A = this chain, B = another copy of it.
Amino acid sequence: MKLLSDIEIAQATEKNHIKNIAEKLNIVEDDLEMYGKYKAKLPLYLIDEDKVKKNNLILVTALTPTPAGEGKTTVSIGLTEGLNKIGKQATVVLREPSLGPVFGIKGGAAGGGYSQVVPMEDINLHFTGDFNAIEKANNLLAALIDNNLQSKVNNLNIDPRTIGWKRVIDMNDRSLRQITIGLGGTANGIPREDGFNITAASEIMAILCMAQGRDDLKERIGNIFVGFTFDKKPIFARDLKAENAMAILLKDAIKPNLVQTLEKNPAIIHGGPFANIAQGTNSIIATKMGLSLSDYVITEAGFGADLGAEKFLNIKCAAAGLNPKCVVLVATIRALRHHGGSPSDEYNTPSVERVEAGFVNLEKHIENIRKFNIEPVVAINSFVSDTDEEVDLIIRKCDALGVHAVVSNGWAEGGNGTIDLAKTVVDIVENKAAEFKPLYNWKSPVKEKIEKIAKEIYGADGVDYDNKANLNLRRIEKLGFNDFPICMAKTQKSFSDNDKLIGRPEGFRITVREIEIAAGAKFLIPILGKMMRMPGLPSKPASEEMFIDDNGKISGLS
């Protein structure tokens, strides 16, 4: 049997009209803003805070991943199919994929195999224009800043050397990482160093995903920290009177998008902030929308649980008053072999010993989730190279910790492959869910909050601060941003800040090099290493293999 590609599976599946998907959520057609027959935006007035409190939020996160990722999106979609199969009304709530990587190596991010959201091409391309709107809002502020530098009317006396606001573009384009702008004489502005980030790394993206309404969005935009005047006064976006125009550009982007899974269950897709320098999870509005419309909401957060789940819980849930009932920890035999010492060319080679040795990584994530007073389930995302011995070992070792580990086979079988997982999740929600408890109090001192994450989640002995970080802390104090939560920017490859330390490292310290302020998103970003904000294209870009025919049918997109 020829193995079908994701796009072939997606194109071969008949889709329901989006109004029929909406019907499952009791949304009347008049409330839908359709974008073609298979996508729709949902109006914010459908959010119902009583239902948000009442219904069940499930987070899908993962152990420390290999570079290929361990399939959180695929498991999230598969679990949603499984829950619907066993009679629960469940909606998956996901991030929007970024366009740039589609033409590079990584490809899209709409799930895989028989656990996908569709229309896959649209979701991976421009979708409903949200990324574009974010890009334009971001770049309007940039244009207003540079325009002000040379304005004779309302000049704010901004010191160009202090401007931290970068332009963004949703393209893998390394040539734009570091540039000089404003060249060519007085008509072309004030020359200065600058650079482009990819759109997903824009603070506007982080803001949109933290905002709880239009006014909140506008206020947050106004709070964006731009830089300093020559006499050291802070400048915010509101000083440029930018927040209304930027919020106007986001008037539709703030509304979550409804699509469907391959099994015609509802999927809400909205926002896609970077998981390294931002919160890495979909919008609060989308999560609340899902909870307002269905009994179960399955959602995910980027990278391993030390980053994704920690930020999801301490930032997003704490900010929005969300109370997740269960955490699904995705593990793969491949990743456990990796943590047990397997070199990358042997990830597919069975080894009970390596899996056993690698289990310490999963064990630490299990311990961590319990620190939030949430009960985890382990989902073993099934791969063809897995052996029964390896799988049984994981199940037994989890059992010894009092945790259910269940094989999840949504990739190959859709909802039929996740029924056990779905039943286990329902059992926890109905019988074992407690009140979620954040790890730290936002009002604690900044260093105390960072130390708590480092010690309790990463297992570090302590935290060191570079000079720059200490200078940043004084600035944060001065600007009054002490009470913001912490959005750690750390490698996803290790619990520590050192890529090489796999498994469950011990006896290490982490170093905070600097601390960025996301004054609009309202969090602080301790930077533990070099963070990539603008990917490049590979030597042979994915774009070369794509094809579209005269009728608009696409192939070669993944």
Chain B residues lying within 8 Å of A214, measured Cβ to Cβ, are: 548-552
Cβ B180 vs Cβ A537 within 8 A: no
Chain B residues lying within 8 Å of A146, measured Cβ to Cβ, are: 173-175
Shortest distance between the CB of A248 and any CB in chain B (Å) = 5
Q: Is A437 an interface residue (CB 8 A)?
A: no
Q: A171 touches which one: B36, B103, B136, B557 (CB < 8 A)? A: B136
Interface residues of A (CB under 8 A from B): 33-37, 41, 99, 103, 121, 125-126, 129, 132-133, 136, 139-140, 142-144, 146-147, 151-154, 167, 169-184, 187-190, 194, 213-215, 218, 241-242, 244-245, 247-249, 251-252, 536-537, 539-541, 543-544, 546-552, 554, 556-557
Q: A184 touches which one: B144, B178, B215, B541 (CB < 8 A)? A: B178
Cβ B187 vs Cβ A550 within 8 A: no
* CB closest chain-B residue, reference A213: B550
Shortest distance between the CB of A447 and any CB in chain B (Å) = 32
Cβ A174 vs Cβ B153 within 8 A: no
Chain B residues lying within 8 Å of A189, measured Cβ to Cβ, are: 174-175, 177, 536
* CB closest chain-B residue, reference A248: B548
Q: A175 touches which one: B172, B178, B188, B215 (CB < 8 A)? A: B188
With A34-B34, A245-B546 as contacts: A147 and B554 at CB distance below 8 Å: no
* CB closest chain-B residue, reference A43: B552
Chain B residues lying within 8 Å of A548, measured Cβ to Cβ, are: 214, 218, 244, 247-248, 251
Chain B residues lying within 8 Å of A248, measured Cβ to Cβ, are: 121, 125, 546, 548, 554, 557
Cβ B144 vs Cβ A541 within 8 A: yes
Shortest distance between the CB of A171 and any CB in chain B (Å) = 5
With A244-B548, A548-B244 as contacts: A140 and B37 at CB distance below 8 Å: no
Chain B residues lying within 8 Å of A549, measured Cβ to Cβ, are: 214
Measured in the bound complex, the distance between the Cα atoms of B139 and A214 in whole Å is 31
* CB closest chain-B residue, reference A149: B175
**Copies of this chain, count:** 2
Cβ B179 vs Cβ A183 within 8 A: yes
Measured in the bound complex, the distance between the Cα atoms of B543 and A547 in whole Å is 40
Chain B residues lying within 8 Å of A181, measured Cβ to Cβ, are: 175-176, 179
Chain B residues lying within 8 Å of A34, measured Cβ to Cβ, are: 34-36
With A171-B139, A175-B146, A187-B174 as contacts: A242 and B543 at CB distance below 8 Å: yes
Cβ B541 vs Cβ A147 within 8 A: yes
Shortest distance between the CB of A128 and any CB in chain B (Å) = 8
Shortest distance between the CB of A122 and any CB in chain B (Å) = 8
Measured in the bound complex, the distance between the Cα atoms of B244 and A137 in whole Å is 29
Chain B residues lying within 8 Å of A536, measured Cβ to Cβ, are: 147, 187, 189
Shortest distance between the CB of A360 and any CB in chain B (Å) = 34
Shortest distance between the CB of A366 and any CB in chain B (Å) = 38
* CB closest chain-B residue, reference A218: B548
* CB closest chain-B residue, reference A36: B33
Q: A241 touches which one: B140, B151, B544 (CB < 8 A)? A: B544
Measured in the bound complex, the distance between the Cα atoms of B547 and A181 in whole Å is 30
